[in-house]
């Protein structure tokens, strides 16, 4: 269920990722009237989103939603939703559903957010995830408050309180898709670059204490296809 796609540079990586996504979208739309794509924040996928937004797709049949979010207002520069809307622009941006709703905390927003995500069209066809140097993916951070619940809940979303670190920065309150939700996406893509993160990924493939590197729960899963997209 694990496939690795390694590229020589970012240009080749983006080309390969675009072809992969377009093929998955075409296949899904041939079977379903509407589908949902789950997208991550961070700087690495932004060039891909800009390219995706330029494709001649039936956007009215596509629904986009976030994999995770820092619990900050859309006007904040740390907002994943803000970054994605700026990258997608126009028609594609209008198809995006964010997570932050102005609630005083991520935990307070959980009931309403779970209802909103449950209402998204199925299937959830493709999910694009990133990888942190600490082994987190989405906002499933090692040793985070709420991590245990996020790994075992049947809910779609989970409130996370990460341990402050150089990776989290000052924004430690997060909302994330749960492990259950991630594993119910038809195709998962893990996108990352650099030798350091490749070493983290290699550790995650064989790790027994998976909570140390939460991405290992996805890398080692045997039910949902996971495609690795990487370049140096």
Q: pLDDT per residue over 17-71, tens digit each?
A: 999 999 999 999 999 999 999 999 999 999 999 999 999 999 999 999 999 999 9
User: In CATH, what number is assigned to the domain containing residue 159?
Assistant: 3.40.50.1360
Identify the pLDDT of residue 126.
98
Identify the pLDDT of residue 2.
96
Q: Is the pLDDT of residue 172 over 90?
A: yes
- Per-residue pLDDT band for 156 (boundaries 50, 70, 90) equals very high
Which helix (H) or strand (E) element contains residue 159? strand 157-161
In this prediction the pTM is: 0.97
Instruction: Give the model confidence (pLDDT) of 189-220 as tens digits.
Output: 999 999 999 999 999 999 999 999 999 999 99
Q: Is the pLDDT of residue 140 over 90?
A: yes
- Distance, CA of 67 to CA of 160 (rounded, Å): 13
Residues whose CB is less than 8 angstroms from the CB of residue 126 and which lie 6 or more positions away in sequence, other chains included: 21, 24, 25, 28, 37, 38, 185, 186, 187, 188, 189
Computed over every residue of the chain, the mean pLDDT equals 97
Identify the pLDDT of residue 1.
81
Sign of CA dihedral 192, 198, 202, 203: negative
Question: Number of structural domains, the chain?
Answer: 1
Concatenated DSSP letters of 60-104: GGEEEEESEEESS-TTSTT-HHHHHHHHH-HHHHHTEE-S--S-S
Q: Which domain holds residue 203?
A: 2-231
């Amino acid at each position: 269920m694990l496939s690795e796609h390694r590229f020589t540079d970012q240009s080749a990586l983006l080309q390969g990722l675009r072809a992969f996504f377009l093929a998955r979208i075409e296949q899904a739309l041939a079977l379903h009237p509407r589908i949902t794509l789950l997208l991550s924040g961070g700087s690495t996928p932004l060039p891909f989103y800009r390219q995706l937004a330029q494709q001649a797709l039936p956007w009215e049949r596509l629904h986009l939603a976030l994999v995770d979010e820092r619990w900050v207002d859309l006007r904040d520069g740390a907002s994943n939703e803000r970054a994605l809307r700026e990258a997608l622009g126009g028609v594609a941006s209008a198809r995006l559903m964010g997570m932050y709703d102005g609630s005083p905390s991520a935990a307070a927003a959980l009931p309403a957010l779970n209802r909103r995500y449950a209402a998204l069209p199925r299937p959830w066809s493709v999910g694009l995830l990133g990888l942190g140097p600490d082994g987190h993916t989405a906002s499933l951070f090692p040793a985070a408050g709420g991590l245990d619940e996020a790994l075992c809940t049947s809910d779609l979303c989970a409130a996370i309180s990460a341990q402050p670190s150089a990776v989290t920065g000052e924004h430690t309150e997060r909302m994330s898709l749960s492990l259950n939700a991630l594993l119910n996406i038809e195709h998962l893509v893990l996108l990352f670059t650099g030798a350091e993160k490749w070493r983290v990924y290699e550790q995650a493939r064989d790790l027994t204490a998976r909570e140390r590197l939460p991405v290992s729960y996805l890398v080692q899963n045997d039910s949902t296809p996971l495609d690795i997209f990487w370049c140096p």
